[in-house]
């Protein structure tokens, strides 16, 4: 069926199909040249906006996949409540915590933010379609085990966040598995499923605490980022609270989907333990 869909809608002769691991989508490498992503977590309207943003980043020469349009010129195929997106395959290795990789990751995120800072019409579309991906809604959460019970108690502790911080289109999953490197070059940024309009500092905080293992590495990351896109002292000072808030929102989402798959929760819970949140 996948072979038929690719050949009928993209006109690509399929010689080889390899399925790769993904949490919420079915992802296939086609002919070692393309990636087909099939998902039902995004509506066709939302996936189209996501693909449009990826296309914009590609045009700005950021390290993202090239969206392969269908034969009819569309950015995706929507069929039977699922969306099918084809993009170029980016071979390489995941982020490795080396300082050269850390610097490249910080620089790329800064360039990504600069790329979208003045895209006001696109920002309006993203805001209208993507909304707040992880609402802070505690109603009906189920305690599946002691880890989930612990996390629910953590989520219930309020965090006061500053208002009025600069907001824009961001990635919001700028983490180890979504950055692709070749030697010391960053060649790929993938998985835009939870992109939205929110605080720039929140997007940086997710990267800061996900890609560093020490205070020294955090200083290198922020210095490299600020050399391209300067953050205010207020933004830097609130990053820990923004990160905690984001983690709580993502944990709420994974608890609600726990019976479908516990793996996303387990991954986030490991980050909670690493941060020493209590």
Strands of the sheet with 179-182, listed across from one edge: 93-94, 179-182, 185-189
Distance CA 13, CA 213 (A): 44
Beta pairing class for 34-39 and 26-30: antiparallel
* Residue 255, H or E segment: helix 239-256
Inter-residue contact 250 to 258 (CB < 8 Å): no
94 closest CA partner among 34, 18, 23, 174: 174
Residue 164 burial (CB < 10 Å; 0-12/13-18/19+)?
A: exposed
Q: Are strands 179-182 and 167-170 parallel, antiparallel or unpaired?
A: unpaired
The H or E element spanning position 36 is: strand 34-39
- Distances in Å between the Cα of 21 and the Cα atoms of 24, 29, 90, 182, 227 are 9, 11, 15, 20, 35
Walking along the chain (278 residues) 10 residues at a time, the average pLDDT comes out as 94 94 86 94 90 96 97 94 94 95 98 94 94 84 92 87 93 96 94 95 97 96 98 96 93 92 90 78
Q: How far apart are CA 144 and CA 138, in angstroms?
A: 15
Phi, psi at residue 79, to the nearest 5°?
Answer: -155, 130
| Residue 215 pLDDT | 96
H-type alpha helices, 131-214: 146-155, 200-210
In the prediction, which pLDDT does 275 show?
Answer: 80
DSSP alpha helix (H) spans, 61-192: 99-117, 120-130, 146-155
Tell me how far apart the alpha carbons of residues 60 and 270 are, in angstroms, rounded to a whole number.
35
Query: For residues 258 and 252, what is the distance between their CA atoms, to the nearest angstrom?
Result: 10
Please give the Cα distance from 207 to 189 (Å, whole number): 12
- The one-character DSSP state at 87 is E
Tally helices (H) and strands (E) across the chain: 10, 11
> Distance between CA 7 and CA 62 in Å, rounded?
29
**N residues, the chain:** 278
Question: What are the structural domains, with CATH classification, of the chain?
Answer: 2-89 (3.30.200.20), 94-275 (3.90.1200.10)
Q: Which tokens belong to 65?
A: 């996949």
pLDDT, position 216: 97
Residue 278 is predicted with a pLDDT of 61
Residue 177 neighbours by CB under 8 Å, 6+ apart: 94, 95, 191
């Amino acid at each position: 069926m996948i072979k038929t869909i690719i050949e009928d809608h993209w006109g690509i002769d399929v010689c080889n199909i390899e399925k790769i691991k993904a949490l919420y989508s079915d992802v296939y490498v086609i002919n070692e040249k393309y990636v087909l992503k099939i998902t039902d977590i995004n509506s066709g309207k939302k996936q189209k906006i996501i693909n449009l943003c990826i296309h914009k980043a590609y045009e700005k020469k950021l390290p993202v996949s090239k969206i392969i349009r269908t034969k009819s010129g569309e950015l995706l195929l929507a069929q039977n409540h699922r969306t099918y997106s084809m993009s170029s395959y980016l071979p390489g290795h995941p982020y490795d915590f080396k300082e050269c990789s850390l610097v490249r990751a910080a620089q790329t995120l800064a360039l990504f933010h600069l790329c979208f800072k003045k895209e006001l019409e696109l920002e309006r579309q993203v805001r209208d379609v993507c909304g707040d991906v992880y609402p802070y809604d505690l109603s009906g959460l189920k305690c599946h085990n002691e880890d989930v019970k612990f996390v629910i108690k953590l989520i219930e502790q309020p965090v006061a966040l500053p208002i009025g911080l600069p907001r824009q289109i961001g990635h919001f999953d700028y983490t180890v598995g979504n950055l692709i490197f070749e030697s010391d070059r960053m060649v790929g940024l993938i998985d835009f499923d939870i992109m939205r309009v929110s605080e720039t500092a929140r997007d940086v905080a997710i990267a800061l605490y996900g890609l560093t293992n020490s205070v020294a590495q955090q200083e290198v990351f922020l210095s490299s980022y600020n050399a391209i896109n300067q953050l205010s002292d207020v933004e830097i000072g609130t990053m820990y609270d923004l990160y905690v808030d984001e983690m709580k929102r993502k944990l709420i989402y994974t608890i609600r989907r726990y019976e479908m798959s516990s793996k996303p929760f387990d991954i986030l819970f490991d980050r909670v333990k690493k941060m020493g949140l209590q």
